[in-house]
Chains A and B, each alone.
Chain A
Amino acid sequence: MRVALYVTCLVDLMRPAVGMAALRLLEAAGCAVVVPAEQTCCGQPAWSAGNRQLAADMARRAIAQLEGYDYVVIPSGSCADQIRNVYPQLLAADVAWARRAAALAERSYELSSFLAEVLHYAGPLAEFSGRVTYHDSCKGLRNLGIKQQPRELLLKVPGLQLQEMGDCEECCGFGGAFSVKFGDISTQIVDRKCDSIAQAGAAAVVGGDLGCLINIEGRLRRRGDETTQVLHIAEVLAGKEV
């Protein structure tokens, strides 16, 4: 099974360990993993800003880079949503590209849903001693139906206890450019998320989208929480590289 790993621009720059962890998981599951060399950004910032033309240009490029594999796996719900749900509607008016977009969309998966639904992944898994709480990122949860998949995987991790936080489906306030344009509103929202995390009393908050995680980690640290770990699910499942 030839699987393309699309690491996302944010992981490439801000937390490469997430990409490496995803790579190890997919390889451990027996996939022939390829990291398409031309990959850059899926175009979500242009799309969110309402710049349809730039977003369509970036979508065409990404499609050309990513088609031709059995699956494309993305360690991010929002980028996976972009490829699965946005590309087809973005290119709907262009018959040839619409067909290519639809073909790519149905082969593209967010990492935890790919591991759980397609691979039925059961290990190898790293150990984790302690309680973790899972933050449901909005795009993954509401646009891709990712809810049980990450929990199913986490519960298989030896030593890990899952402690749900209150309002785990509430937005963390990131929203890409939103958190820059409306920094104070975003801070207000992430503060409520940090309160929920604190109340859950977990050693780590885990999620599937790096944007949300950077946002949550940034606020926790500014609030003076130096201990709660903020981890991508790939990092928990694969553990630290030895």
Chain B
Amino acid sequence: MAAAKHSQAMFFQARAGEKIRNKVLQKALQKAKPLFVGKRAKAIAALPDDGFEFEALRTACVDIRNRVLGDLDVWLELFEERARATGAEVLWARDGDEICELVIDVARRHGVTKATKSKSMLSEEARLNEALAAAGIRPVETDLGEYIIQLAGETPSHIIAPAVHKTIDEVEALFAEEHGRPIESRTSADIPAMTREAREVLRQHFLSAEMGITGANFLIAETGSAALVTNEGNGRMVTTLPKVHVVITGIEKIVPTLEDFATLMRLLPRSATGQSISNYVSLLTGTKQPGDGEGPEKTVFILVDNGRANLLGSAYQEMLRCIRCGACMNHCPVYFSLGGHAYGWVYPGPMGAVLTPLYTGIENALDLPHASTGCNQCASVCPVRIPLPDLMHRLREEQVERGLRPWSESWALKAWAWLAGKPALYRWVVRRVSRYLQWLADADGRIHILGLAPGWSVGRDLHVPAGRTFHELYAARKRA
């Protein structure tokens, strides 16, 4: 698998340790979490004020997504036909390398030297920026968060808030260097000024780029349109100013009708940023027609598989319902202990813990399905009810079935199951362990370093048992 060679997911443990020790990162994360959680909670709680009910909307959204996935080929063909009828070109990419080839080919055909980009996670799957640069085409990220991480030479750490791991001081240092000015002392009150500064720089790029590259939140089959949900307005610039617009999106992003799109939009911004609607919602259909004030002369859709079709009809099909709102990671205790980079590939958090092994190979991301406390917060907020913990669990089972777990773990579980099947022996062993733990404990009745579970006692003291097991106490009580 092409994607696997760029995945760092096998180094999850080591990267997690680094992220936990990074005080600056921890500060940024602790600041962001309550904002995400609080805003979403408020938006969902306010749904009845607009005459909606969360669970009913969820059911409607699940139905739309399932209907599409049930006949994906039919909807894709319809989309292709309708999009072509509007004058757009529709291309297909099997994987990330094919995305890069197609985009570069389109760029060369139109003499493109600079491409402005609005946020696209699929271009991250393809590592498109690297490929463009290597082909002599300058990619310029125009989403503010993406602009920041492009300056930093990093990848997004969150699917909707790519620079959530950065503090204002770090951003200031990047801006000062890029914009050629001295570093100033900044507080959150300076954010509008810093944004204006970035906007002025980006404006020049908007005007000079020959190509605009975006993702699409949805593709609408009945009209052949791409729907773009943004907050900064950069999406409008990228899709209307350059002469060529390339939309790169996954084949699962399709919805049948505009009505379906409207239904999904009731939950997407609310789940993502807690907005009842995003600042901009763009429906992009075809090319600039005579009499149109703006719009691209050329529109190209690149519809991408990159592992998605394999999930159809599999135990993981429900994952394809995902509408990329980020609510799962926003409510994940593991994500907010680490940020997104620890996950090692494009998608972080619970959805990443499912997608990374599926798209890059289960054997290349062994830790991710286990990097969950099983708390189920992600599934409880997912607007399309993806059973994320169940899917992670299914991946764990597949690791066992394919012999990918360490022998020590398999052996320990087998020994435990065997012992649990011999109640008399089990009682005897538990009694011995109880005495042993008591013997291990210090005078304060606690164990500070537990050899059996060193990872656990790194951060915790174990209060030792009373020295007698429940079954001993119960037997004594019955005798008395």
Residues of A in contact with B (beta carbons under 8 Å apart): 7, 9, 11-17, 19-20, 23, 35, 37-41, 43, 45-46, 48-52, 54, 57-58, 61, 138-139, 142-143, 170-171, 173-192, 214-215, 217-219, 221-222
B461 adjacent to A178 (CB under 8 Å) = no
Contact residue among A15, A43, A142, A214 (Cβ-Cβ distance under 8 Å from B377): A142
Name the CB-closest residue of A to B431: A13
Residues of B in contact with A (beta carbons under 8 Å apart): 13, 16-17, 20, 333-334, 337-338, 369-377, 379-380, 393, 395-400, 405, 409-410, 413-414, 416-417, 419-421, 423, 426, 430, 433-434, 446, 453-463, 465-466, 468-474, 477
- Least CB distance from A54 to B in Å reads 4
- Least CB distance from B83 to A in Å reads 41
A185 adjacent to B371 (CB under 8 Å) = yes
Q: CB-CB < 8 A to B372: which residues of A?
A: 175, 178
Q: CB-CB < 8 A to A20: which residues of B?
A: 470, 473-474, 477
A40 adjacent to B413 (CB under 8 Å) = no
Q: CB-CB < 8 A to A19: which residues of B?
A: 470, 473-474
Q: CB-CB < 8 A to B409: which residues of A?
A: 49
A221 adjacent to B463 (CB under 8 Å) = yes
The distance in angstroms between the C-alpha atoms of A218 and B461, with both chains bound, is 4
A222 adjacent to B459 (CB under 8 Å) = yes
- Least CB distance from A229 to B in Å reads 11
The distance in angstroms between the C-alpha atoms of A14 and B468, with both chains bound, is 9
A142 adjacent to B458 (CB under 8 Å) = no
A41 adjacent to B373 (CB under 8 Å) = no
A184 adjacent to B469 (CB under 8 Å) = no
10 A-B pairs with CB atoms under 8 Å apart are A16-B473, A20-B477, A43-B420, A49-B413, A61-B420, A178-B372, A179-B456, A180-B455, A183-B458, A184-B455
- Least CB distance from B373 to A in Å reads 3
Name the CB-closest residue of A to B417: A54
Q: CB-CB < 8 A to A219: which residues of B?
A: 459-460
B373 adjacent to A173 (CB under 8 Å) = yes
Q: CB-CB < 8 A to B393: which residues of A?
A: 48, 50
Q: CB-CB < 8 A to A170: which residues of B?
A: 333, 377
Contact residue among A49, A50, A57, A218 (Cβ-Cβ distance under 8 Å from B460): A218
B455 adjacent to A182 (CB under 8 Å) = yes
A46 adjacent to B417 (CB under 8 Å) = yes
With A180-B455, A186-B459, A214-B462 in contact, is A139–B374 under 8 Å at CB? yes
A-B contacts besides A49-B405, A50-B398, A182-B455, 9 pairs, CB < 8 Å: A15-B466, A20-B470, A40-B421, A41-B420, A50-B393, A50-B395, A170-B377, A173-B333, A183-B456
- Least CB distance from A12 to B in Å reads 4
Contact residue among A40, A173, A178 (Cβ-Cβ distance under 8 Å from B423): A40
- Least CB distance from A7 to B in Å reads 5
Most buried by A among B333, B369, B421, B434: B333
B400 adjacent to A222 (CB under 8 Å) = no
The distance in angstroms between the C-alpha atoms of A182 and B453, with both chains bound, is 11
A49 adjacent to B396 (CB under 8 Å) = yes
A15 adjacent to B465 (CB under 8 Å) = yes
With A7-B470, A181-B370, A185-B338 in contact, is A142–B463 under 8 Å at CB? no
Q: CB-CB < 8 A to B456: which residues of A?
A: 179-180, 183, 186, 218
B16 adjacent to A52 (CB under 8 Å) = no
A52 adjacent to B400 (CB under 8 Å) = yes
Q: CB-CB < 8 A to B379: which residues of A?
A: 142
Q: CB-CB < 8 A to B416: which residues of A?
A: 41, 45-46
- Least CB distance from B314 to A in Å reads 17
A214 adjacent to B463 (CB under 8 Å) = yes
- Least CB distance from B327 to A in Å reads 15
Q: CB-CB < 8 A to A176: which residues of B?
A: 374
- Least CB distance from B330 to A in Å reads 13
Contact residue among A40, A54, A174, A177 (Cβ-Cβ distance under 8 Å from B414): A54
The distance in angstroms between the C-alpha atoms of A57 and B414, with both chains bound, is 11
A190 adjacent to B459 (CB under 8 Å) = yes
Q: CB-CB < 8 A to A183: which residues of B?
A: 453-459
A61 adjacent to B474 (CB under 8 Å) = no
With A142-B375, A182-B455 in contact, is A218–B462 under 8 Å at CB? yes
A175 adjacent to B462 (CB under 8 Å) = no
Q: CB-CB < 8 A to B16: which residues of A?
A: 182, 184-185
Q: CB-CB < 8 A to B430: which residues of A?
A: 9, 12-13
Contact residue among A58, A174, A222 (Cβ-Cβ distance under 8 Å from B373): A174
Q: CB-CB < 8 A to B461: which residues of A?
A: 218, 221-222
Q: CB-CB < 8 A to A178: which residues of B?
A: 370-374
B334 adjacent to A189 (CB under 8 Å) = yes
Q: CB-CB < 8 A to B463: which residues of A?
A: 214, 217-218, 221
Q: CB-CB < 8 A to B458: which residues of A?
A: 183-184, 187
A16 adjacent to B396 (CB under 8 Å) = no
The distance in angstroms between the C-alpha atoms of A216 and B419, with both chains bound, is 28
Contact residue among B13, B374, B398, B399 (Cβ-Cβ distance under 8 Å from A175): B374
B400 adjacent to A185 (CB under 8 Å) = no
Q: CB-CB < 8 A to A39: which residues of B?
A: 423
A143 adjacent to B420 (CB under 8 Å) = no
B375 adjacent to A175 (CB under 8 Å) = yes
The distance in angstroms between the C-alpha atoms of A183 and B457, with both chains bound, is 8
B460 adjacent to A54 (CB under 8 Å) = no
B413 adjacent to A46 (CB under 8 Å) = yes
Most buried by B among A50, A138, A190: A50
The distance in angstroms between the C-alpha atoms of A176 and B455, with both chains bound, is 12
A50 adjacent to B455 (CB under 8 Å) = no
- Least CB distance from A143 to B in Å reads 7
The distance in angstroms between the C-alpha atoms of A153 and B308, with both chains bound, is 49
B396 adjacent to A215 (CB under 8 Å) = no
Most buried by B among A49, A189, A191: A49
B20 adjacent to A13 (CB under 8 Å) = no
A23 adjacent to B377 (CB under 8 Å) = no
A138 adjacent to B413 (CB under 8 Å) = no
With A46-B416, A180-B453 in contact, is A185–B374 under 8 Å at CB? no
